[in-house]
Amino acid sequence: MAGVQEIIVISGRSGAGKSTTSRALEDLGYFVVDNLPPQLLDGLLDVTHKSKEGIRKIAVIIDVRETEFLKLLPNKWREIDDGKYIKKLIFLDASDQQLIDRYQETKRRHPLDDGCGIRAALVLEQRLLQPIQKLATKQIYTDKLTAHALRNLIKKEVMGEGLHDINITLMSFGFKYGVPSELDLCFDVRFLANPFYIQHLRPKTGLDIEVFDYVLALKDAPKFLEKVVDLVLFLYPLYQSEGKSNLTIAVGCTGGQHRSIALVEALKTRLAGRFERVRVEHRDIDRKN
C-alpha cells in the first residue's frame, strides 16, 4: 500500500466529541480540515495528493453546520477510489440527554436551534445524519467517555493495538529568562562549569564545536546524559500507554547559550537513534548575555 493516502471522515451529532477527535488526529499527524463542504472533498484530495510535503494522512470533519451540502457526502464517499485511498468514516453519537447536559454545561447553542429548542434540533440533526451514519465504518458512543478516554479510543482505532510514537522536543533555555511553561521534564545543568567565564568561549554557543567539546569533557556531563537517557527510556512507554502525544524535555543553564545547548545537542544524538520523532529548540540562543 506504499503511496496510498488515508482519508478519515469524522461525522456525528453536535456535542458528541468531534472537536476532541479532531485534536487526537492532529496529534497523530493527520492534516485535519474542519467543516469542509462535501463538494470540495475532491479538490482537497487532489491538492494533498500533489502536495510537495507528501501529505498522506487526511481527516475531514463534516457535520450539520452545512445542511445544504450534507446530502452530497454519501455519493462523494462512494466515489473515492478504494484502490487509491484507505477510507474510514467514524460516526460519533451520544444520547439526547447526554447531549442536552453538555450543551447546558457549555452554554452553547446547537447549530440547528433557530428558536425551535434543543430537543427539536437534536431530532432534526439525527434525521439529517442518518444517511452518513449508515456508511460509518466505526460508530462510537461517547456517553460514558471522558475526553481523555475518547482520545485514546480514537488513537487505538486509527493506529490499531500498537502504541503511537510520541513527539519529543528537546529544548535548551536560560533560567534568567524564565522556565518554559510547556515543559514536561526539566533538568538544571548549572552544576557544570560555565564556559561563559572562559574569554574565548564567551561569544560562542553550544553549537560551536569548541564549546560543545568543552562541556562534554566536563567530569559529570557524560554521567548526566546517561541518567537522562535512562529516565527517558523508562518513561517513554509509560507516557505511550497513557496516550501522551508530545513530550518536552527542557535543559536549562544560566543564560541558555552554552551548557544547555551543548547538552541538548548531545541528547539529540543519543535519542534520535532510538525514537523517530525528535526535534530540537534552542529557545534563548539569540539572546545576549
Q: What is the block-wise mean pLDDT of the chain (289 residues), using blocks of 10 residues? A: 73 91 87 83 79 79 77 84 83 93 88 90 91 91 90 80 78 96 95 96 96 97 96 91 86 96 96 89 87
**pTM surpassing 0.85?**
no
Residue 47 cell numbers, joined: 491538492
Give domain 5-159's CATH number out of 3.30.2010.10, 3.40.50.300, 3.40.50.1980, 3.55.50.30: 3.40.50.300
- Strand-pairing partners, residue 172, are 251, 282
What separation in angstroms does the CA of 16 have from each of 12, 78, 127, 137, 139? 7, 25, 16, 17, 11
SS3 60: strand
pLDDT score at 161:
55
Angle at 244 between CA 146 and CA 153, to 5 degrees: 45
- Residue ranges per domain, the chain? 5-159, 167-282
Rounded Cα gap, residues 259 and 285, in angstroms: 11
User: Which residues, other chains included, contact 48 with Cβ-Cβ below 8 Å and sequence gap of 6+?
Assistant: 5, 31, 55, 58
Q: What's the one-letter identity of residue 286?
A: D
Nearest to 275 by CA among 164, 183, 173: 164
pLDDT score at 162:
57
